[in-house]
A = this chain, B = another copy of it.
Amino acid sequence: MQLKIALLGGDGIGPEVLAQSVKCLKAIEETFNHRFELVEAPFGAIAISGSGKPLPNKTLELCKASDAILLGAIGSLEYDNNPEAKVRPEQGLLRIRKELGLFASIRPIKMFPAFLGNSPLKRNIVENTDMVIFRELTGGIYFGQKTLSEDGTTASDLCTYSEGEISRITHLAFKSAKKRRKKLTLVDKANVLETSRLWRKTVTEISKSYPDVEFECLFIDNAAVQMMLNPRQFDVVLTDNMFGDILSDQGSVILGSVGLLPSASAGIDNAMFEPFHGSYPQAKGKNIANPVASILSTAMLLQHFNLNEEANAIVAAVHKSFVKKVVTADVLGSSKYGTDYVGDFISENIVESD
């Protein structure tokens, strides 16, 4: 297969962890005989210092012309410490999502047996957890109309959803469920919210086209509880922007290390893959950042193009690094291995399975 992949290193540890993903992509190219055209472009704080824009036009053009995007991370202390700044790295992220129609955030939450002990939950509860959260990313109350009365004493936020916004992510989620354990849980608050009732009606209707997928609904307060009591019950979780914000953070933390978690933002025509973690500017250039989240995001990218064997080869190499304890110190305090070394180990252990 031939793929053109845009590489946006971004800020902080972004470029370092992305470099390890590139090693893996090269190993996949060689081992499985693919052609990946990898093109780097500036994005985030680093792009602001160059062109004044967090998402320069050239970068956007490249992204549009690519089959997929691999992102490192975005955000810098310089801007975090300056709330007055008019141009901010994060605006680049909002704009790229909008321009490319990336309406679904996809977050796999899969327990790695090697790190069971890192979870705040008891071992028997969190063991074998394996879910994917589909969070609507461009609608809902985060993007609704905001008002503040002239005297500053009354404020409002409007949450709106349309059937179209709901159905496009719902189809993505059901398609994913079909390939997994065939269960989809819609999380809403349909006992009080009108938008939730529209979600429930729309998703229930669509569920009929996926008769082999078990479909259930859960209220958000109960879902937040179930995430702690029995996360194994979840396969695909589908929810709106705000509920997804809460649930996916909660889901991440039950795994015990945010340095291991990949994620994707997807639309109909485009997809971007990035570690769940942020730009961690304090660690920049120190060769201590965990490259696994970025590497697993690369596996998600391959899976997106149905290169499942290739994706599995990456995951297997990551597992091997866990077993051999070739990991960074954030997941194993006593470890002396750096970002580079872990990236080398994983990429060198990518092999065709028999």
Question: A residues engaging B (CB < 8 A)?
Answer: 120-122, 125, 141-142, 144, 146-148, 152-164, 189, 192-195, 197-198, 201, 220-222, 224-225, 228-229, 242, 245-246, 249-250, 252-254
Contact = CB atoms under 8 A, between A and B. Distances in A.
B229 A249 contact: no
Contact of A163 (B122, B154, B163, B249): B154
A98 to B, nearest CB: 15
Contacts of A246: 220-221, 224, 246
A110 B246 CA distance: 23
Given A141-B141, A157-B158, 20 more contacts: A120-B121, A120-B122, A121-B121, A121-B122, A141-B192, A146-B194, A147-B194, A148-B197, A148-B198, A153-B162, A153-B163, A154-B160, A154-B162, A156-B160, A156-B194, A157-B195, A220-B246, A224-B250, A225-B249, A225-B253
Contacts of A141: 141, 157, 159, 192-193
Nearest to A155: B198
A107 to B, nearest CB: 12
Contacts of A120: 121-122, 125, 228-229
Q: Most chain-B Cβ atoms within 10 A of its Cβ — which of A121, A163, A197, A224? A: A224
Contacts of A163: 152-154
A115 to B, nearest CB: 14
Contacts of A201: 152
A121 B163 CA distance: 38
A266 to B, nearest CB: 21
A154 B161 contact: yes
Given A142-B192, A228-B121, A229-B120, A155 B161 contact: yes
This chain's copy number in the assembly: 2
13 contacts: A120-B228, A121-B122, A147-B194, A153-B164, A155-B197, A156-B195, A157-B158, A157-B193, A189-B242, A220-B246, A221-B250, A225-B249, A228-B253
A189 B243 CA distance: 12
A201 B141 CA distance: 20
Nearest to A223: B246
Q: Most chain-B Cβ atoms within 10 A of its Cβ — which of A157, A198, A225? A: A157
A303 to B, nearest CB: 26
Nearest to A164: B153
Contact of A155 (B125, B160, B192, B250): B160
A254 B198 CA distance: 32
A223 to B, nearest CB: 9
Given A121-B228, A142-B192, A193-B141, A159 B162 contact: no
